[in-house]
Structure 1
Amino acid sequence: MAGISFVQLVKTSWAIDLLLVLSVFAVAVLIDRIWAYRGLRIDEKKLMERVRSALKRGKSDEAIYVCESASNPLADVVKVGIENRNLPIENAAELVDGEMLRIKTILEKRLTILSTISFIAPLLGLLGTVLGIIRAFRDLAVSGSGGPSVVMMGVAEALVTTVMGILIAIPASIGYNFFVNHIKTFMVRVEITAKQLLAFIDTISRKKMEIAGKGDSNIDLTDLLEDNLK
């Protein structure tokens, strides 16, 4: 048994082949999600300052351009709010909520793979271990010789699958929980920004109605609106 290397032990179980396939999937998903979440970085305060400035001046196209140039899911939510600013605030809020749900679904894409791998990898490793031990005792019974050394060799081979399963499950579980928390934090930022935008749009609508209600057709609504929102 002393002459058997870890690599040789790995080659003795079919369960290892399945675990190696799972490890490839886990690494692929980890890399894919790390790359995807790089685009979540954004200074929402600076974005909202530019959006508010444009909307105060009645430049909705400029505000939309600011969002498009940001290339960020948070900016996409803000863009939906701007595009539907003339709807009743309740309807605009529903559309914004729908966009947030769409974004969350996209961000959570493939995370179930990590969750599944982190759950089944140890179980698959344990299954391989149990079957390996059964095989070891069966071989001992068939051969009728070799004694404990034969059993210990079989047990050593079998335990490798448990080790491999745990080694795969740990990074998959860590990655899954990290990404889930990252998404939750990001979506809280998105929700706060969306509420700020809707409140600002509602304020603009009320100010417009208030200013227009003065009945002076010569009033420059844009200038008065900007003054009232400072």
Structure 2
Amino acid sequence: MLFLLIDTPLTDTTHTAATQIAPAEQDLRFIDLLMKGGWVMLPIALIAFIGLVIFIERYLTIRKASRDESNLMLQVKQSILSGKLDAAIAICRNSNTPLGRMLQKGLLRIGRPIKDIEAAIENVGKLEVSKLEKNISILGIIAGIAPMLGFVGTIIGVITIFHDVSIKGLIEIGTVSGGLYTKMITSAAGLIVGIVSYVLYHILNIMVDRIILRMETDAIEFIDLLEEPGK
């Protein structure tokens, strides 16, 4: 009997403690956190989607323009050395690449001073680079705006929390901490979107810089080729 009397309260106490602890253990799901961020999460999600679309579109375009053009340069060189100017122009036109359009412009200017040919190639090159860089700057803007939007959401949340505290006239740790951690979600989301956009922005710029370097190298080789017969 003594053992039964001692064992029963212990069991009840353990069961009660477990019951009290169980409700405190709640699953913290990522989607629920995002929903608690408030209306500021909508513009953050919108600019994140816009940034992703721009990156994919620009990446595919730049990747297409960055394919190896050594074969094109070789064919143009052979045609020029063979005196087949029309064939060289046709090869450049059919390539449908930034380098091909640059060389085509230079070939159409053959017979004029070298300075004029260089200027024509340079102008076409600038146009091609501007086409490649189209909308890339928007990623840079998103990288700057997203964290600011996140901070705005957090600040609005903090203002709301302290407004409620001023009305109630007392500070409840649960209310303050609970409301604050949900509002910090906007800052975290804004920073994540900003960091990712910043990285993607520089990835595209690096790809464009490589294309520019190769275009300049091929343009110099082309001009040198045109100057050879006159030496």
Instruction: Look at both structures and tell me which one has the larger radius of gyration over its CA atoms.
Output: 2
- Asked whether the two chains share a fold, i.e. TM above 0.5, the reply is yes
Aligned length: 206
Q: CA offset at residue 99 of structure 1?
A: 0.4
Q: Equivalents in 2 of 1:80, 1:154: separation in Å? A: 63
Q: Show the counterpart of 2:35.
A: 11
Contact 1:47 1:66 (C-alpha < 8 Å) held by counterparts: yes
Contact 1:81 1:194 (C-alpha < 8 Å) held by counterparts: no
Q: Equivalents in 1 of 2:214, 2:96: separation in Å? A: 16
Q: CA offset at residue 6 of structure 1?
A: 3.9
Q: Once superposed, what is the RMSD of the aligned Cα atoms?
A: 1.8
Contact 1:44 1:193 (C-alpha < 8 Å) held by counterparts: no
Q: Show the counterpart of 1:99.
A: 124
Q: Show the counterpart of 2:5.
A: none
Q: Equivalents in 2 of 1:142, 1:23: separation in Å? A: 37
Q: CA offset at residue 7 of structure 1?
A: 2.7
Unaligned runs of 5+ in 2: 1-23
Amino acid corresponding to residue 100 of structure 2 in structure 1: A
Q: Does 1:28 align with 2:50?
A: no
Partner of residue 226 from structure 2, selected from 201, 209, 214: 201
Q: CA offset at residue 69 of structure 1?
A: 2.2
Q: Equivalents in 2 of 1:71, 1:171: separation in Å? A: 32
Which segment drifts farther, 2-11 or 63-72? 2-11
Partner of residue 58 from structure 1, selected from 83, 105, 125: 83
Query: Residues 64-83 of structure 1 correspond to what in structure 2 (within 5 A)?
Result: 64-83=89-108
What's the TM-score once normalised by structure 1's chain length?
0.84
Which segment drifts farther, 162-171 or 184-193? 162-171
Q: CA offset at residue 54 of structure 1?
A: 0.5
Q: Equivalents in 2 of 1:7, 1:144: separation in Å? A: 33
Report sequence identity in percent. Answer: 24
Q: Equivalents in 2 of 1:50, 1:172: separation in Å? A: 40
Query: Residues 164-203 of structure 1 correspond to what in structure 2 (within 5 A)?
Result: 164-203=189-228
Q: Name the SS for the 1:106 alignment partner.
A: helix
